[in-house]
Amino acid sequence: MDENVHVIERYERAWIVFGLGMIAVFIVLIGYLMIANRGTIPISAGRVDATQVRSAGDFANPRVEQVGNEYVVYVQAFAFGYLPTEIRVKAGRKVTFNITSPDAQHGFQIERTNINPQVIPGEVVQVSHVFRTPGEYRIICNEYCGIGHANMVSKIIVEP
């Protein structure tokens, strides 16, 4: 066995090349998907004064707005819930969420979708999604935000 060390090194080189090749493939796939699913990538839609969120501006009036054939939603994620308490949209249309928090960091994961942004006080995070299948989708807070964190669940109703 000890004499085989050079054979082993050849195999090891092959393994490293194989590993690098796989990584290259992954990187290309990720790059492609990032472009193809651009809307699901959380981006910044401006900043706000976290202490004013409840009293002034778009988020003091959390709502679903219909703009042409699309929806724009303003969501306040607070300890421990979401406003508006219920979001209703129609299937097959683009929904753009703008979300911020007046207190701690929160999550906004919509089950069975790729929507999963971090909600950070002072930052407005934007993501969008087209719901293809009607039904109810849970919104889950998945960032620890205090004692009521586990209760922080809401829903989106997608109508046909």
Partner 1 sequence: MAVRTLSQMDAYAGAPEKKYTLYMLMLGFIALMVGTLFGPLQSFNYGGLDLYPFLKPVFQNYYQGLTLHGVLNAIIFTQLFGQAIMVYLPARELGLRPNMTLAWVSFWMALIGLLIAALPLLANAASVLYTFYPPLKAHWAFYLGAALFVLSSYVSIYLALEMWARWRKAHPGQITPLVTYMSVTYWLMWLLASLGLVVEVALFLIPWSLGLLDGVDPLLMRTLFWYTGHPIVYFWLLPAYALAYTTLPRLAGGKLISDPLARLVFLLFLLFSVPVGFHHQFADPGIAPYWKFIHTILTMMVAVPSLITAFTIAASLENAGRNNGGKGLLGWIAALPWNNPTVLAFLLGFLAFIPGGAGGIVNASFNLNQNIHNTVWIPGHFHLQVGTLVTMAAMGTAFWLVPHLTGKPLVARGMALASQWLWFIGMFIMTFALHWMGFLYAVPRRSHIAGSPIAMEAYRESAAWMVLNIVAGVILLIAAILFFYVLYATALQSRREPSQVMAEVPFTEVLSKAEGSSLAQLTERVWFWFGIALLLVVLAYGPVLFQMFTHMNPVPGVRLW
Strand 153-159 with 135-140, pairing: antiparallel
CA–CA gap between residue 47 and residue 51 (Å, rounded): 12
Cis peptide before 80 (omega within 30 of 0): yes
Token pair recorded at residue 50: 């976290």
Residues near partner 1 (CB under 8 A) = 1-2, 5, 8-9, 11-12, 15-16, 19-20, 23, 26-27, 29-31, 33-34, 37-38, 40-45, 47, 50-51, 79, 103-105, 107, 109, 111-112, 114-118, 120-126, 138, 140-151, 153
Q: Is 129 an interacting residue with respect to Cu ion (CB under 5 A)? A: no
Is residue 97 part of the annotated active site? The answer reads no
Residue 90 or 116 with smaller CB distance to Cu ion? 116
Catalytic residue from among 18, 59, 78, 131: 78
Residue 8 or 66 with smaller CB distance to partner 1? 8
Is residue 78 part of the annotated active site? The answer reads yes
Q: Is 106 an interacting residue with respect to Cu ion (CB under 5 A)? A: yes
Catalytic residue from among 18, 26, 59, 80: 80
* CB of residue 30 to partner 1, shortest distance in Å: 5
3-state secondary structure 79-146: CCEEECCEEEEECCCEEEEEEECCCCCEECEECCCCCCCEECCCEEEEEEEECCCCEEEEEECCCCCC
Residue 50 or 94 with smaller CB distance to Cu ion? 50
> Collapsing DSSP states into helix, strand and coil, what is residue 70?
strand
| Listed ranges 7-15, 23-31, 33-41, 152-160: which one lies at the site for Cu ion (CB under 5 A) | 152-160
| Residue 76, Cβ density class (10 Å: 0-12 exposed, 13-18 middle, ≥19 buried) | buried
Give residues in contact with Cu ion (CB under 5 A): 106, 141, 145, 149, 152
Which sequence positions are flagged as catalytic?
A: 78, 80
